Structure 1
Amino acid sequence: MEDLSIQNVSLEVLENMERHQTKGFISSKALVVRRGAPFAVSMQLGGQLFNPKADSLRIKIMLGRLYAIVPVTFSKKISSSRWKAFMDPKDLNLQNPTIYISSPATASVGRYRFQLCIFSQGGKRCCGFGKFTLLCNPWCSEDAVYIPFEDQREEYVQSDSGLLFMGTAKNVVSRPWSFDQYEHGVLEACLNLLQVSPQHQKNRRRDYLNRSNPVYISRVVSAMINSEDDHGVLKGNWSNNYKQGVHPSAWTGSGDILKQWAQSGYSPVKYGQCWVFAAVMCTVMRVLGIPCRVITNFNSAHDTNDNLVIEEYYSETGQKLKHSNDSIWNFHVWVEGWMTRQDLGAGMNGWQVLDPTPQERSGGVFCCGPAPVKAIKNRLIEARYDVPFVYAEVNADVHTIILSQGRVLSMSKDTERVGSLICTKAVGFPRMQNVTSDYKFIKSPTSTLSSRSSSTISEESTLRRESSSKGVLVFLNLDKTPIAGEPVRLTVQVVNKDSVAKTIKVHLNAQAKEYNNSPSDTFWENHGVVQLAPMEVKALQQEISPAQYEDVVGDDMINLAVVVEDMNSEERVLASEEFNIASPELIIEVADEHSIVLNQEHAATVTFTNPFSHPVTGVLTVAGAGLIQGKLQFRMSPLPPGGRVQQRIPFIPGMVGIKMLQASLSFTNIRTTIRGFKMLSVHSV
């Protein structure tokens, strides 16, 4: 009889990936498994049958030049700390034996090779070969990324779509994003990101060994998402000149970015801003098996001199001035990764801030984190990594200064504005979850303040700012949330606190501004004089018409300020608010949306009604990971004010589960893009 030989090694891909919660990666055509759990490999033998008493099996598992040689035993007891391989003696097929390979819960992430050898009597040897990709395992209680709730694992690891939050704290805009981790080529790009990193290029052995630790992995990923120090994924651009690439607002998902980066030979993709950096990092982290979510911090401080104070300067007529290197972004977006912090102790376990947007260097490299959220809340600034920087982003005080010819006319302080809302997408639902209290201790409003009617401006902050005023108070309120195509209506309330009459100058000023920059020139202003009797309160009604803001603002914000001047004492008091104008949403409707079935054609309808005061033209783009291959685009003819247009969108679902269909309409004659999304549940039958 001919000698024993291994004719084929089957990786049992479908069964293993079903068991390891990796079936979404099936398009990669490779075996993808998670550490800390066994997976099956079966052999088809030729010649003699396998003889358990006379033949022995050994597996050599290789990651780069690192390797482990593992004997195959009949003991099903696996180890959390070392590689094990076994056969089940109760279910042993001597012609086609199955071997179970189990990695430690601390195994390094990466692409592995293995060599499976049978040693028979007389020292004869036959071998088979295979490959697999190993990821972190949030389902394994001994893995550093273990997260104990299934709904959170579904949301923070498996979900391939989500919402990013933008705008302002009082008018939050939900932006759909496709994380695309199951799209063809994305897994490979994420693994290549680790290989291209400077850490790997400098010392491959050390890098492979360190990939057991999610703290290390997350720092590498944070640095590699931006291209400042390496062959990173994205080039940042806040210049308003995007001719050499794609406007950051045009991206709808991570897949196009990661695939373009990989296909270009790792040249940076142009361009990204904070939400793009964060969303792409979220994709990479989820691919690697580290639970991750996108966080938005509204009124995010960038404190360049580490004094926890942001200075803002205004002219005596309410125009905001560029006089400081410090800044407050209307919103800033980062991510949190879930992991234990064995380097810091159990008290620092859980969510960790990671920020791939290149702002400051950490350890000589443009990256940030992982900074424990618990350390930020408790101001444990000695904890690694970058806790002081993130602490300032959510806690800095704001000093507002009115200048005239270089002379300080007044100064007020606001301790509540920075980090006024910190949020993420809720688990399992397309809505916002407020996580501000995870980052900071929330002060309870006093009974006096809580009894006041709320508005789009924080009255508590306004009162605190104006508490230094001796004789005059001013409040600035938006009458309702500003909506595109409608006037911005506002009320200025001027209060005379004295028992003598006053003559008050009132200066109103509006400037367009990007979320991360100082405002541009004034586009609307109003000046007047008000007579106030002793202890009198007067309300002044104002409005900014659509014709005045539509061509200036686009997707930008508005900085609105009012300065009142007591003409007798020359005392000046300022109130301000930065706000966004809510765009209409595209309406997406799907017939029989509760009967969406895999591999069958369905149709959606996208509807848009023009709210603007002039005709608009544009391009409609529709995408949906697991629903549509690539993107569909449609050009929209000129649509008059109040006009309505509908577009039918056919789609054939290719994956089971909750999927997002998203649409964006980019106008060619105004600087605005409007969006809409629809969550669909795809069933197998």
Structure 2
Amino acid sequence: MVDSYRYYFNDLVNRLRGTYNDGRREDRRREAEITGSVDGDPDSVDAATGRATSRANGNGESRTTATISPLKIGGVTFYPKENGKNHRTSKFQLVERGTPILRRGQNFYIALLYAPGQTRKFDKDTDQIKLIFSFGPHPSPMNGTEQILKVEKVLNADEARWSARITRVDKNAMTLEVHTSADSCVGIWKCKVETMLQKTPTGEEQLTEKFTCPDDIYLLFNPWDSSDVTCMKERELLNEWVLEDTGKIWVGPHTSTRGRHWVFGQFDDSVLPLVMILLEKSGIAFPSRGNPILVSRALSKIVNSNDDNGLLMGRWDGEYGDGTAPSAWTGSVPIIEQYFQSMQPVQYGQCWVFAGVLCTLCRAIGIPCRVVTNLVSAHDANGTLTIDRYFDETNNEIDYDPHNPRGSKDSIWNFHVWNDVWFARPDLPKGYGGWQAIDATPQETSEGVFQCGPAPLEAVRKGRVGYSYDVGFVLAEVNADLVRWLKDKSKEFGFSRMEANKYHVGRQILTKKPNVFDSEGDSDRLDIIEEYKPKEGSRTERLQLVNAVRGSNRPCAPHFLEMDPKEEDVEFDLIELEEIPVGDPVPLVVTITNKSSEPRTVQADLSVESMYYTGVRANIVKKASGKFKVQPNAKEELKMTVQPNDYMDKLVEYGIMKLFVICVVDETHQAWSDEDDFQVVKPPMKIEVTPGVKAGKPAYVTFSFKNPIERRLTNCVINFEGPFLSRFSSIKYKDVEIEEELRYTHRFIPKSTGSQRLVATFSSKELIDIVGSSVIEVN
């Protein structure tokens, strides 16, 4: 960065931090007083004007043009609460503190207050007023980062331009209506006022009075405005995808996934300032900050810390002693606050934490955003649009890609979470606007850095991998074929194909139903899989992959080549498990049906391993192998039971295990393999609140659960938060003995009435990912 920009950046950070810290001190002061006061409805603009005008004095006397001087402005009022109500920004804590937050393309009102000693009011025949709005360190009208508005009697008829008009002139102030264009840069604007006389005596230099407004003015995207590219016709859906500050993120294997509550908290007074700082760090050009395509892509880059010392550091190995375990977070705000104060990456996040934070940032600046979870998600490391797994002659999986030994190996995550954002795509052919996939989890680089998207869902669905951005990677995540290969020296490829599973990847793609919230179950779950791909196994779905392969610049996936037909007269079926309560045995069953008229000899190999949710192996839990005969037209069951003592010491976070099965028929060389992910689940945390909760009055909440394992729990921590209920708190708790019930009671002071949500997590050295939530009615 050049010196001038470095100064701008440091000044911005210091100014925003100062405002944030002042607000926090005021919060603590108010809570200490426990006044119980609640702000009422904002006054009308006219009434606010009356309050503002009382600050200045003047007798309104006029002078002749030859003796008067330009009006002197002593202050500017942006009516943050009044404008906030019209612009749907009144929930922002910054608005409550007096900061104007506006949406572009929509009119707003300001008042110019005459300076003390100003002895006359505005005269339309005498005075000329200009408003100068500037954006960034080097504003220019040429690129839209400076807007110079001559205040007129009426607004400009061209809504694509900024304009201003006078609506009211009082003795000590005047009210203006300002219109911004629907493609304005999004972020912090500054305002100056210049006043001068319409005419000056012949030969005199034109005198100008200038006033610089001290306020930061936040201008956001406006999805309610039909001229904004973020506009969504179904306006009621914006209540969910822009204004909802709590929600759910679905996590876990496809047989036991659950909706985990998450506090987005986009209205917290730390969020908008940090978005501004992150956009600065991302390097996105100032004139590009009105383009949601580039803004969302920049945010997907800067939320992870891999390239730019960004917000959140990822970790997936279970070692979180020098930070916070991903499962312990309750929402985005504590992560944002920690980064805001230190400007160092917060430790640690995983995909659903990255997605939760990215959703917060997008909703804060007005981009409609939802969090989506892909159950059984492919990570195509080499761009072949397949997930290839290779096995040696002894049926053991090869732990690298033999055709790319130095590169990454394909993998399948139990689940993966990213975001969809909504806006038009004027850079692409018609029909590719709407939902776009973006992903802040650092998996593969795009254009040399760890970022992903926005990939139009319609392009993913049609296999149009040539359209920007990263369509091929997202398509593989939801619809890659899983191909298993057995080493075979007789084949030119070096391996013979055991099978190509067309149905394993992308079982469901889940998000929260808009404007529905189930605090106890999952009835608010919505499967949007058909927005990403046609019905599995259909001709259209196969065509999607064919189009993608044709459009890819990578070599054709090997399994699309002609393969030798095989004689397959034995059917295999792995019985899928759902969730297993922690401490229970795990029964595993494979059925084998011999459909031929001759006996078949089957070599079977089974292994159970604990897994990280990214598909990385952790520990071998149990293995078994054997060879046996299956009589003609007969059915056999292959069984194995995993006892609690087999797995308790080998589980890793989230309690996920995977069963691998490989069977080879001696007589026909038929080979079959399959796998199943299942989860050892833990009990939820109970949350009980005292009845009759009132805004501004102390209330009490109790968190509890019973230790479900035969181990003492140490290094125990309870985290909880809820917008307008309680800021994020982290409580260290004593050790919990075997079968002991943990109980902790906390006092809090609700700030706002209505249905509010509280989210809590518990973690210890021996047991993590205990979560709970509650809806609290505040009177």
Q: Does 1:394 align with 2:478?
A: yes
> 8 Å contact 1:603–1:649 — kept in the other structure?
yes
| Counterpart-to-counterpart distance in 1, 2:579 and 2:392 | 27
- Matched-pair contact (CA < 8 Å) for 2:256–2:578: no
Q: Which residue of 1 aligns with 2:340?
A: 262
Of residues 155, 158, 162 in structure 2, which corresponds to 1:83? 162
The alpha-carbon distance between structure 1 residues 518 and 318, as it changes in their structure 2 partners (threshold 3 A), is farther
State whether structure 2 residue 376 is matched by structure 1 residue 279.
no
Q: Match for 1:104 among 181, 190, 215?
A: 181
Cα distance, 1:644–1:658 mapped onto 2, change above 3 Å: same
Task: Summarize the Cα distance change of 1:669–1:112 in structure 2 as closer, same or farther, 3 Å threshold.
Answer: same
Give yes or no for the alignment of 1:47 onto 2:119: yes
Aligned position for 1:347: 431
Specify the SS of the correspondent of 1:87. Answer: strand
Pairing 1:37–2:106 present: yes
Tell me if 1:22 matches 2:89. Answer: yes
Structure 1 residue 597, shift from structure 2 partner: 4.0
Q: TM-score with structure 2 length normalisation?
A: 0.78
8 Å CA contact retained: 2:305, 2:312: yes
1:410 and 1:51, CA in 2 relative to 1: closer, same or farther beyond 3 A? Answer: closer
Distance 1:139 1:214, change over 3 A: same
Answer yes or no: is the 8 Å Cα contact 1:110–1:135 preserved in 2: yes
The aligned residue for residue 609 of structure 1 is: 706
Q: Which of 536-545 and 98-107 deviates more?
A: 536-545
Q: Which runs of 5+ in 2 are unaligned?
A: 1-60, 62-67, 140-145, 201-205, 402-408, 518-523, 540-564
Tell me the TM-score normalised to structure 1 length.
Answer: 0.88
Whole-Å separation in 2 of the counterparts to 1:190 and 1:674: 30
Task: Give 1:72's match in structure 2, choosing from 122, 130, 151.
Answer: 151
Partner Cα separation in structure 1 for residue 496 and residue 128 of structure 2: 88
Aligned twin of 1:190: 275
Task: Output aligned runs, 1:149-548, within 5 Å.
Answer: 149-199=234-284, 207-264=285-342, 266-314=343-391, 320-324=397-401, 325-402=409-486, 411-430=498-517, 431-443=524-536, 470-478=568-576, 480-528=578-626, 530-548=628-646
Q: Per-residue deviation at 1:350?
A: 0.4
Shift in alpha-carbon separation, 1:145–1:658, aligned structure 2, 3 A: farther
**Residues 70 and 106 (structure 1 numbering): CA distance in 2 closer, same or farther, change over 3 Å?**
same
- Contact 1:78-1:84 at 8 Å conserved across structures: no
Q: Which has the larger radius of gyration?
A: 2
Deviates more, 1:600-609 or 1:123-132: 123-132
SS of residue matched to 1:416: coil
Name the CA shift for 1:603/1:149 in 2 (closer, same or farther; >3 Å). Answer: farther
Residue 202 of structure 1 is matched in structure 2 by none
Q: 1:272 to 1:620 in 2, by over 3 A?
A: closer
Residue 80 of structure 1 contacts residue 142 of structure 1 at CA under 8 Å; is this kept in 2?
Answer: no
Distance 2:470 2:102 in 1: 33
Once residues 506 and 381 of structure 2 are traced to their aligned partners in structure 1, the CA distance between those partners, rounded to angstroms, is 17
Check conservation: 2:329, 2:719, Cα contact below 8 A. no
CA deviation after TM superposition for structure 1 residue 481, in Å: 2.8
Matched-pair contact (CA < 8 Å) for 1:50–1:95: no
Shift of 1:473: 2.1
1:148 pairs with one of 208, 215, 233: 233
Assess, with a 3 A threshold, how the Cα gap between structure 1 residues 405 and 547 changes in structure 2: closer, same or farther: farther
Give 1:667 shift: 2.2
Q: CA deviation at 1:290?
A: 0.8
Deviation readout 1:187-233 (Å, 9 max, x if unpaired)? 1111111122223xxxxxxx221112111111211221122332322
Alpha-carbon distance between aligned partners in 2 of 1:191 and 1:572, rounded to the nearest angstrom: 56
| Residue 559 (1) aligns with residue 652 (2) | no
**In the aligned structure 2, how far is the partner of 1:662 from the partner of 1:316?**
50
Counterpart CA distance in 2 for 1:478 and 1:409 is: 27
Task: Kindly provide the amino acid, as one letter, of the partner of residue 185 in structure 2.
Answer: S
* 3-state SS of 1:382 partner: coil
Is the CA contact (8 Å cut-off) linking 1:316 and 1:563 kept in structure 2?
no
Please state whether the residue corresponding to 1:257 is helix, strand or coil: helix
Query: Are 2:733 and 1:646 equivalent residues in the alignment?
Result: no
Alpha carbons 1:17, 1:33 under 8 Å: kept: yes
Q: Which structure shows the higher strand fraction?
A: 1
- Give the residue type in structure 2 aligned to 1:487: P
Paired residue type of 1:648: T
Q: Percent identity?
A: 31
1:113-152 mapped onto 2 (5 Å cutoff):
113-120=190-197, 122=200, 125-130=208-213, 131=215, 132-152=217-237
In the other structure, the counterpart of 1:454 is none
Given that 2:328 and 2:719 are in contact with CA atoms closer than 8 Å, whether structure 1 keeps it comes out as no
Q: What is the SS of the residue equivalent to 2:307?
A: coil
State the Cα distance separating 1:619 from its structure 2 match: 2.4
**CA distance 1:427–1:506, shift in 2 (3 Å):** same
From 695, 700, 705, give the equivalent of 1:598. Answer: 695
- Confirm whether residue 8 of structure 1 aligns to residue 105 of structure 2: no
Amino acid at match of 2:622: W
Change in CA separation of 1:218 and 1:479 when aligned onto 2, cut-off 3 Å: closer
Q: Deviations over 1:151-209 (max 9, x none)?
A: 3212111122221222112221322222222223221111111122223xxxxxxx221
Partners of 1:105 and 1:656 lie apart in 2 by: 34
In structure 2, how many angstroms separate the alpha carbons of the residues matched to 1:370 and 1:74?
42
User: 1:579 is aligned with what amino acid?
Assistant: F
Classify 1:261/1:632 alpha carbon distance in 2 versus 1 (closer, same or farther; 3 Å): closer
Q: Whole-Å Cα distance in 2 between the matches of residues 657 and 347 of structure 1?
A: 40
CA distance 1:80–1:548, change in 2 (3 Å): farther
Post-superposition Cα deviations, 1:388-416, rounded to whole Å, max 9, x if no partner, equal 12112212111123459998686111011
Any idea what SS the aligned residue of 1:73 has? coil
Give 1:521 deviation, angstroms.
Answer: 4.0
- 1:520 and 1:315 mapped to 2: Cα distance? 21
CA drift of 1:540 comes to: 4.3
Q: How many residues align?
A: 649
- Runs of 4+ aligned structure 1 residues displaced above 6 Å come to 315-318, 404-407
Give deviations 1:327-363, integer Å, cap 9, x for gaps: 1112122111111111113301101111122222222
Q: What is the one-letter code of the residue matched to 1:44? A: L
Output the CA distance in 1 between the equivalents of 2:619 and 2:394.
Answer: 13
User: Partners in 1 of 2:473 and 2:601 — Cα distance?
Assistant: 45
CA contact (8 A) 1:330 1:516 kept: yes
The alpha carbon displacement at 1:566 in A equals 4.0
After superposing the two structures, state which structure 1 stretch, 30-39 or 298-307, moved more. 298-307
2: distance between equivalents of 1:646 and 1:600?
23
Q: Please give the alpha-carbon distance, in whole angstroms, between the structure 2 residues aligned to 1:622 and 1:424.
A: 23
1:550 equivalent in structure 2: 648
Residue 463 (structure 1) aligns with: none
Structure 1 residue 57 displacement after superposition: 1.9
Asked if the contact 2:599–2:632 (Cα under 8 Å) also holds between the matched residues in 1, the reply is: yes
Paired letter, 1:144: V
- For 2:459, give the aligned amino acid: A
Residue 567 of structure 1: how far off its partner (Å): 5.4
> For 2:151, what is the secondary structure of its paired residue?
strand
